[in-house]
Chains A and B, each alone.
Chain A
Amino acid sequence: MLGLGIIQGLIETGRNFVGSYFKPERLTTVQYPEERAKSFEASRTIPMLVYDGEDPNKGLRCTACTICEQECPPKCIYIVKDTVKKPDYLGKMQMQPKIFDIDISVCMGCGICAEVCPFESIKMDQVFELSTNDRFGSLLLHKHQLAKSNSYFNKICPTQAAEIDANRAADVHKAELKAKADAEAKAKAAAAATTNAAAGVAAAAAATVAAPKPAPAPAAAAPVSKPASAPVQQAKPTPSTPASPTPSADKKP
């Protein structure tokens, strides 16, 4: 019969239409802005800078190594290092950024900056309601707008943040143990020095040999923080050459 195919099609659309009132899988939209579609842990839109604790200025994890600036494909990150250093979570003095700007009108949201960061400091945020009414200024986010606390990071990416926190706690623990061991060794050497000083010149020569030994130890107590999370990351905190076209002689086969 002519038109049988069309009638079968109409039955299908009718089934979908009526079914959307009764079956949830046929109703595929959410009523925005009253409801929002769920986002996943891995979702990424724009970057954010994570800080530990309450104060973004003191707890910011970023050390201005500029690796993310070099690797960013559209080059939308702009970093200026500060002259003042601040201590990191292990107590070692690190550099910090004075200016950290991201131009989110250019940012692709690719996540390469988060992938290459050796200090777990720049991570991908999940906010998508980013529209402003100032086209030229408000789409350039500065350090204070990008800084988000570690508790917020734990809320949006629970498993990843928990792993990072566990690694950092383990590093702190190791550093404390090492500092304690070094302090004990130093105390023992100092005690040995005082008993030997009464023994004479030869003992004094031995003390001068023993004394320099504890001195380098506390300096090595705070190890450079190496992220131990995903096996994918290659941790190289030294800034390498920027990715510019090499003016070397071309290949002439």
Chain B
Amino acid sequence: MIPGIEQLKARIEQAVPGARIEIVPNGSPSNQVSLLLDAEHGFAVAKFLRDDPELKLDFCSNATGVDWPGTVTKEKVKKTVDGVEKEEIIEKTTPGCLEAVYHLFSMTLKQGPVIIRMRTENRVDKVTLPSLTPLWRSCEFQEREIFDLFGIVFSGHPDLRRILMWEGFVDYPMRKDYVEPDDYEYEPTPHAAVLEKAKHHLPSQPAL
């Protein structure tokens, strides 16, 4: 039986000392809460979840990536300077992160799901997460897809290369700030959005 989320967290912390786990609540009626793991102990926690005889989560059903772009919030703070009260606007920026979410089930004990998440530190250069492919072979193609479409680099993956986009493709299409290229093959359809974009890109192209 899978225990409640608090007990599960306690058991994992007991089994993998040093792991920092947070419970991520879920506001919708689906009530699927998830556990946020840190990147250093992620692999050990996942191994415990797979091998523990009461949980036996041997089936990783879904591995996916989510993009949380950075936010800029402005706050008004009152400060006294030389006895005069002034209001200052302070900007707080969060760097944003990329997240990998795994849904784990158990085929032998027919239970689940247990949802675990791991986040990178930022979206620019520190984008490495441990790969769970050595534990569950089903993550092989899905982690390749996360690498291809989001840009998370999985360390320990046996064959990390692009899967859906072609080799030599540069950007990461599923990120929120992805800009589509506008140099498609030119075909004047009535739905001529492509034509408009191509016109801006190559102003000297003669009209066909």
The answer for the CA separation of A103 and B193 in the assembled complex, in Å, is: 13
Asked if B190 contacts A253 (CB within 8 A), the reply is no
A105, B189: Cβ atoms under 8 Å? Answer: yes
Q: B68–A250 contact, CB under 8 A?
A: yes
Interface pair A137/B190, CB less than 8 Å apart? yes
Chain A residues with CB under 8 A of B189: 103, 105-106, 136
**Docked-complex contact B188 and A136, CB < 8 angstroms:** yes
Bound form: Cα–Cα A140–B188 in Å: 12
Contact status of A105 and B190, CB under 8 A, knowing A250-B69, A250-B71: yes
Given contacts A249-B71, A250-B69, A252-B68, contact A76 B191 (CB under 8 A): yes
Chain B residues with CB under 8 Å of A140's CB are 190
Contact B191 A105 (CB under 8 A): yes
The answer to the question of B108 belonging to the interface, with a C-beta cut-off of 8 Å to chain A, is: no
- Docked CA distance A106–B69 (Å): 32
**Pair A139/B190 contact, Cβ less than 8 Å:** yes
Query: Is B93 interfacial (CB 8 A cutoff)?
Result: no
Contacts of A106 in B (CB 8 A): 189, 191
Q: Can you list, as one digit per residue, whether each of A215-253 has a CB less than 8 Å from chain B (1) or not (0)?
A: 000000000000000000000000000000000011011
Which residues of chain B from 61 to 120 have any CB-CB distance to chain A below 8 Å in the complex? Answer: 68-69, 71, 73, 94
Q: Name the residue on A nearest B73 (C-beta).
A: A249
Shortest B37–chain A CB gap in Å is 14
A contact patch SS? loop
Closest chain-A Cβ to B17's Cβ sits at a distance in Å of 25
Q: In the complex, how many angstroms separate the beta carbon of B184 from the nearest chain A beta carbon?
A: 15
- Expressed in whole angstroms, the Cα–Cα distance for A2 and B150 within the complex equals 57
Contacts of B158 in A (CB 8 A): none
CB distance from B173 to the nearest CB of A (A): 15
A47 to chain B, nearest CB (A): 16
Give the chain A neighbours of B69 by CB distance below 8 A: 250
The CA-CA distance from A106 to B192 in the complex, in Å, is 11
Q: Roughly how many angstroms separate A139 CA and B192 CA in the complex, as a whole number?
A: 13
Among the interface residues B24, B71, B190, which one has the most CB atoms of the partner chain A within 10 A?
Answer: B190
Most buried by A among B68, B69, B73, B94: B68
Say whether A252 contacts B94, CB under 8 Å: yes
Given A253-B24, A253-B25 in contact, is the A103-B190 Cβ separation under 8 Å? Answer: yes
Cα separation A139 to B94 with both chains bound (whole Å) = 48
Report how far A137 CA is from B68 CA in the complex, Å.
Answer: 42
Cβ of A74 to closest chain B Cβ, rounded Å: 8
Q: Which 10 A-B pairs have the closest CB atoms?
A: A140-B190, A253-B24, A103-B190, A103-B191, A106-B191, A136-B188, A249-B71, A250-B68, A136-B189, A105-B189
8 new A-B contacts, CB < 8 A, other than A76-B191, A250-B69, A250-B71, are A103-B190, A103-B191, A105-B191, A106-B191, A136-B188, A136-B189, A140-B190, A253-B24
